[in-house]
Amino acid sequence: MLVDSHCHLDRLKLEPYDGKLQGAIDAAHERGIGQMLCISISLDNVETVLDIAQQHPTVLASVGVHPCDVSAGTATREQLTAWSQRDKVVAIGETGLDYYHETESVAEQKASFALHLEVAGEQGLPVVVHTRAARQDTLDLIKAHGNPEHAGVLHCFTESWEMAQAAMEMNYYISLSGIVTFKNAKELQEVARKMPLDRLLVETDSPYLAPVPYRGKPNEPKNVREVAEFVADIKGISYDELAEITTRNFYKLFSRAQQHRPQ
C-alpha cells in the first residue's frame, strides 16, 4: 500500500469522473494508494475537508490556515482546538510561512504559524508545514513554538539539504511531491538521494504539481505512484520497498491515522 500524504480533494478536476470525487478515490485505490490525507488551507474550506473525510473511509483530514490565506482570516486558538478534536483529524495545518507569494502579511503569517504549532503541541498532533523563501524563520518558529515529541512534516519540500537536516534534527519528516521528477529539479533530487528513508514521505499536493509524465496537467492522488517510483529509483530500492517504508513513516508520524487504517 502507498499513502498520498498531502492532497486537496476539494479542488480536484473531476470531469474524468463525471464530477464525482469517489471516482478519483477509486482510481487511486486501483493503483495501490490505500489512503490519502486531505489538507485544509482556509477558514472557508475546513468544514468541506472534514465532510470529505467523513464521507470517504480512506480519506483523513488536516485542519489549518495556509500562510497565503491568512490575510483573508486567521484561525483562533479556540477554532484550531475544536477542529483538532473532530473525527478523522490527524494533523494541524497546512500552516507555515511563504515569503515568495506573500510579502505583505509576514507578521500575520508568523503569528498564525506560531499558534498552529502551539495548538498542535497541546493536542498531541503533528504539523503540516508549508515553507517557501522563509527558511530560517520557519526553523526558528518550529524551534520556539513546536513540540518535538510530535513534530510534523515539511511538505512539498523544495528547499536545501541543510534545511532538511535542520528540520530532521527537530524530529520532522520531509515529503517529496511531483516536483522531484522535473528535469530541472537537480538540487531536490540530490536531497532525495541523501534523505534517510525513515524520514521520508511522498505526496501529490494535487491538483497541483503533477509528476512527469503528467506535468502541466491536473494532478490527482493516483499519481503519487509516479512520485514513489521516481524516488525509489533515486534511492536504489524497489517501488514496493519505498511504498512500505513511506507508509510506515506516515502512520508513525500521523499516529491518529492508525485507527482508520484500511484493513
The string of pLDDT tens digits covering residues 136-155 is: 999 999 999 999 998 999 99
Asked whether 203 and 177 are in contact (CB, 8 A), the reply is yes
Question: Cα separation of 258 and 90, whole Å?
Answer: 9
Mean pLDDT, rounded, for 200-206: 98
The string of pLDDT tens digits covering residues 63-81 is: 999 999 998 999 999 999 9
Mean pLDDT, rounded, for 242-246: 98
Q: Any idea what the Cα angle at residue 248 is, between residues 35 and 59, rounded to 5°?
A: 15
The string of pLDDT tens digits covering residues 34-65 is: 999 999 999 999 999 999 999 999 999 999 99
Q: Is 247 exposed, middle or buried (0-12, 13-18, 19+ CB in 10 A)?
A: buried
Residue 190 pLDDT exceeds 90: yes
The string of pLDDT tens digits covering residues 92-132 is: 999 999 999 988 899 999 999 999 999 999 999 999 999 99
